[in-house]
């Protein structure tokens, strides 16, 4: 089956800890994205990558970091610098990352800070 | 002011009703318009997309774009309980890397 997987589905973190969210795709897509979804606010772009070893900040990158060492993988680290990290995190991918691509989403990871 | 505004609802209608979901936007450079459907605790899935003003139909769903008014709509005919979900509008410019701007999402419930 082709698709995007995210793990874990639920994640709990203590304040002051870094945590890494996994995103893997086997669609052979070049572009990958990370969004954050909060109630009543829609999706906001954290980081995106159009090609391996290259990525750009989105609208709310502060307190987050990413890497893109492999085409299939785009992990997101939520650092202790992110002041309000409790949210639903969605990873997406598209064929090339051009403006008319369709973005396909993973099932999401719900992060809760205790 | 947000670039894209969408009434978050919630919206509750009886089965069989016609549903109208709407978004307004402020950036006249947006040329590519999408509607995503998101079931509870799942990732969004693309429902429809359109580039131009006017209507586009797909089964029970119709997407409408009015660029002069900066207004887009999604109509659902003969609504079913399985249509109960959050509906997100999204849009982007046509040039360069894709950066989607999403509305807040409207939570829709279809009551049997």
| pLDDT band of A98, cuts 50, 70, 90 | confident
pLDDT at A72: 97
| Contact check, Cβ <8 Å, A90/B44 | yes
A108 contacts B105? CB cut-off 8 A = no
Asked if B96's CB is within 8 angstroms of A99's CB, the reply is yes
Between residues A71 and B2, the one the model is more confident about: A71
Alpha-carbon Rg of chain A, whole angstroms? Answer: 13
The C-alpha atoms of residue A23 and residue A11 are separated, in whole angstroms, by 14
Average pLDDT, chain B: 93
Mean pLDDT of A78-94: 94
Q: Inform me whether the C-beta atom of residue B106 falls under 8 Å from chain A C-beta atoms.
A: no
A35 — pLDDT class (breaks 50, 70, 90): very high
CB of B88 less than 8 A from some CB of A: yes
pLDDT at A1: 57
The shortest C-alpha distance from A79 to chain B (Å) reads 23
| More confident: A13 or B94 | A13
Best A103, A106, A109, A112 residue to mutate vs chain B (most B CBs within 10 Å): A103
Q: In this complex, do A92 and B41 lie within 8 Å of one another by their Cβ atoms?
A: no
DSSP assignment of chain B equals --SEEE----EEEETT--EEEEEEE--TT--EEEEEEE-TTS--EEEEEESSSEEEEETTEEEEEETTTTEEEEEESS--GGG-EEEEEEEE-SSSB---EE---EEEEEE-
Q: What is the pLDDT of residue A2?
A: 66
B46 Cβ under 8 Å from any chain A Cβ: yes
- A71 vs B95, which has greater pLDDT? A71
Low-confidence ranges of chain B (pLDDT < 70): none
Among A40, A44, A105, select the one facing B44 at the smallest CB separation. Answer: A105
Q: Which of B42, B51, B93 sits opposite A107 (nearest CB)?
A: B42
């Amino acid at each position: 089956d082709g698709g995007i997987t995210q793990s874990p589905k639920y994640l709990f973190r203590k304040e002051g800890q870094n945590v890494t969210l996994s995103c893997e795709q086997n669609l052979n897509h070049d572009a990958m994205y990370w969004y954050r979804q909060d109630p009543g606010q829609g999706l906001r772009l954290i980081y995106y990558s159009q090609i391996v070893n290259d990525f750009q900040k989105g609208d709310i990158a502060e307190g987050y970091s990413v890497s893109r060492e492999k085409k299939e993988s785009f992990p997101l680290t939520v650092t202790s610098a992110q002041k309000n990290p409790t949210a639903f995190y969605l990873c997406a991918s598209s064929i090339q990352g051009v403006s008319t691509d369709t973005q396909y989403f993973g099932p999401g990871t719900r992060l809760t800070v205790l | 002011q947000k670039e894209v505004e969408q009434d978050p609802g919630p919206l509750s209608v009886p089965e069989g009703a016609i549903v109208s979901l709407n978004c307004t936007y402020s950036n006249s450079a947006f040329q590519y318009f999408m509607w995503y459907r998101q079931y509870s605790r799942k990732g969004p899935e693309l429902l429809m997309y359109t580039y131009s003003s006017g209507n586009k139909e797909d089964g029970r769903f119709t997407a409408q774009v009015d660029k002069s008014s900066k207004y887009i709509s999604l109509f659902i005919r003969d609504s079913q309980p399985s249509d109960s979900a959050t509906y997100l509008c999204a849009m982007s410019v046509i040039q360069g890397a894709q950066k989607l701007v999403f509305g807040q999402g409207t939570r829709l419930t279809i009551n049997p």
